[in-house]
Amino acid sequence: MAGGLMAAVSCTCMAQSMERMQWFNEPEQWEIKGNSLLMNVTPQTDYWRISHYGFTVDDAPFLYALRGGEFEVKVKISGDYKTRFDQSGLMLRIDHENYIKAGIEFVDGKYNLSVVVTHHTSDWSVIPLDTPVPSVWIKAVRRLDAVEIFYSFDDKEYTMMRNAWLQDNHPVMVGVMGACPDGNGFNAKFENFSIKHLPDLRRVQWLKKNSEGND
């Protein structure tokens, strides 16, 4: 009975109901169906701080849940990207000076796998795709003070695109975002969003070490 209860609890923790998440910069048009979010991304919005362009913006729509500890989060994203810098993806955010966003960004007519890491100032890394893709899976794994970012086209084989620092032992806003810095908005879709709790790595290592010592 207890084992069955634990299994049920573990399964529940895998899914994060989007209807129970909160908006930061709520867009005018959005709809949740099941575990999918359809969003008309607000025009002239973005997340960026200072570097290269000399300005700071923090006004794009972001639907999030607050999570502590270590976890794995993933989502399937798609959109009718039209204008330079149209983007959608995951975001992990501590505050306006510390966040990571990762997903697809449309630049010079090409789809790019994109990661922006911000700690006071922003940096940007991209992997250009040869051809447009109908959708992509983005996964982030938070372990201790690092976040590993992965992408996949089938939700089976994942490739790491970035390993970035993020302060550990601090709650994180985690969810989905879209931004449209230069355009008049576009439609983005986020499907099968999930967050899975991961056992604390330091404690797992400590238990393993002490167990070996007692054998």
Residue 160: the pLDDT is 98
**Tens digits of per-residue pLDDT, 176-202?**
999 999 999 999 999 999 999 999 888
Instruction: Confirm whether 214 is domain-assigned.
Output: no
Instruction: Confirm whether 78 is domain-assigned.
Output: yes
The band of 214, judged by pLDDT with boundaries at 50, 70 and 90, is low
Instruction: Confirm whether 53 is domain-assigned.
Output: yes
Report the CATH number that the domain containing residue 179 is assigned in CATH.
Answer: 2.60.120.200
Q: Residue 122 CB: number of other CB atoms within 10 A?
A: 20
**Tens digits of per-residue pLDDT, 21-35?**
999 999 999 999 988
Element (H, E) at 190: strand 187-198
Instruction: Confirm whether 180 is domain-assigned.
Output: yes
Instruction: Confirm whether 156 is domain-assigned.
Output: yes
d(CA 21, CA 15): 12
Query: Which residue from 35, 54, 59 is spatially nearest to 189, judged by alpha carbons?
Result: 35
Instruction: Confirm whether 134 is domain-assigned.
Output: yes
pLDDT, mean of residues 146-170: 97
Under a CB-based contact definition with an 8 Å cutoff, are residues 147 and 153 in contact? no
Q: How far is CA 92 from the centre of its chain?
A: 6
Number of domain units in the chain: 1
Q: Is the predicted pLDDT of residue 70 greater than 60, yes or no?
A: yes
Residue 99 sits in which domain range?
18-209
Strands in 87-95's sheet, in edge-to-edge order, are 22-24, 62-67, 172-179, 87-95, 98-107, 110-119, 121-128
pTM over 0.95: no
Per the structure block, which two tokens stand in for 82? 């039209």
Q: Which residues contact 196 (CB under 8 A, 6 or more apart)?
A: 13, 14, 71, 72, 73
pLDDT, mean of residues 43-56: 96
Per the structure block, which two tokens stand in for 12? 């529940």
Share of the chain above pLDDT 90, in %: 84
pLDDT, mean of residues 80-96: 97
pLDDT, mean of residues 2-9: 36
Residue 4: the pLDDT is 38
Classify 3 as helix, strand or coil. Answer: helix
Instruction: Confirm whether 88 is domain-assigned.
Output: yes
Measured in degrees and rounded to the nearest 5, phi and psi for residue 78 equal -155, 160
Instruction: Confirm whether 31 is domain-assigned.
Output: yes
Amino acid identity of 37?
L
